[in-house]
Amino acid sequence: MFLTDYNEIRALLARHGFRFSKSLGQNFLTAAWVPERIAEEAGLDETVGVLEIGPGIGCLTEQLSRRAGKVLSVELDRSLQPVLAETLTGCENVEVLFGDVLRQDLPALVKEVFPGLTPVVCANLPYNVTTPVLTALIESGCFERITVMIQREVARRICASPGTADYGAFGLFVQWHCETEILFDVPPSCFVPQPKVTSTVIRLTRRGQPPVQGKDEALLFRVIRAAFNQRRKTLVNALSAGLGLGKEQVEKVLVLRGFDPKIRGEVLGIGDFSAITDELYSLIHADL
């Protein structure tokens, strides 16, 4: 069966009485080159265990199964169970778990399903939960690589550089934990139903250690969020409001680290945020 042939997909889904759910981000691939190329880019071999989120009817799952040691596919929509039972016949190394990926204990799951294998993620993500899913995957600390298709706008935000309109707190969070790469775009015409937006495949590779060593990672992300919550304001105003500190105190910290007190957070790199956070840390702890 060709799992990306439009007519075959229609016939398969009609046979099982399946109806697409918009709220579950169900846009299935109908161009064979796409799942093949995504799986190719994921860097798989028999030593790797792949977590797939949202197998749909299994077109990417099949490609992952050919290349990896083991595949675990987590699918929220139980109505796809009989479909996947049919399409994944013969994919012996695939296990399908029906449930919400956001409700899984990922470290426990990885330990149980991928013993002795290098865990990675490869998926065409449901776009409505991209940010919480990527956050959970990164925070789990389990995965060497995450190769995913997401909305192009979100891909650009994740990989953005300082001083660009796309640059923000979520991109900095991802870049703190991972090296980020944009791989290729996929047009709406490659899906059924067609989404309104272009998609992009990205690869995130876990860093051995953060790009800079700082004093307090939790404070660093409070600083970053405060800076971007009010990105039109100067950093002094944004940090003073977001962290409940006096403007003079924040200004002193910036000047101490050699920054113009009128600077905006959106032009600062992760190293700059880390340096400012270290100074704020000293200030906060000196006040205690």
Sole window of 98-106, 137-145, 174-182, 257-265 interacting with ligand SAM (rule: CB under 6 A): 98-106
Can you tell me the distance from the alpha carbon of 178 to that of 29, in angstroms, rounded to the nearest whole number? Answer: 27
Rounded to the nearest whole angstrom, what is the least distance from the CB of residue 195 to ligand SAM in the complex?
Answer: 8
Sole window of 96-104, 154-162, 204-212, 265-273 interacting with ligand SAM (rule: CB under 6 A): 96-104
Sole window of 19-27, 160-168, 219-227, 274-282 interacting with ligand SAM (rule: CB under 6 A): 19-27
Rounded to the nearest whole angstrom, what is the least distance from the CB of residue 249 to ligand SAM in the complex?
Answer: 43
Burial of 162 (0-12, 13-18, 19+ CB in 10 A): middle
Q: Which is nearer to ligand SAM, 102 or 197 (CB)?
A: 102
Can you tell me the distance from the alpha carbon of 78 to that of 192, in angstroms, rounded to the nearest whole number? Answer: 19
Can you tell me the distance from the alpha carbon of 170 to that of 164, in angstroms, rounded to the nearest whole number? Answer: 14
Can you tell me the distance from the alpha carbon of 234 to that of 279, in angstroms, rounded to the nearest whole number? Answer: 18
Question: What would the 3-class secondary structure string for 47-90 be?
Answer: CEEEEEECCCCCHHHHHHHHHCCEEEEEECCHHHHHHHHHHCCC
Q: Which is nearer to ligand SAM, 76 or 235 (CB)?
A: 76
- If binding is defined by CB under 6 A, does position 76 make contact with ligand SAM? yes
Q: Which two tokens stand for residue 140?
A: 């789990």
Selected from 62, 77, 278, 279, the binder of ligand SAM by CB under 6 A is 77
- If binding is defined by CB under 6 A, does position 42 make contact with ligand SAM? no
- If binding is defined by CB under 6 A, does position 75 make contact with ligand SAM? yes
- If binding is defined by CB under 6 A, does position 26 make contact with ligand SAM? yes
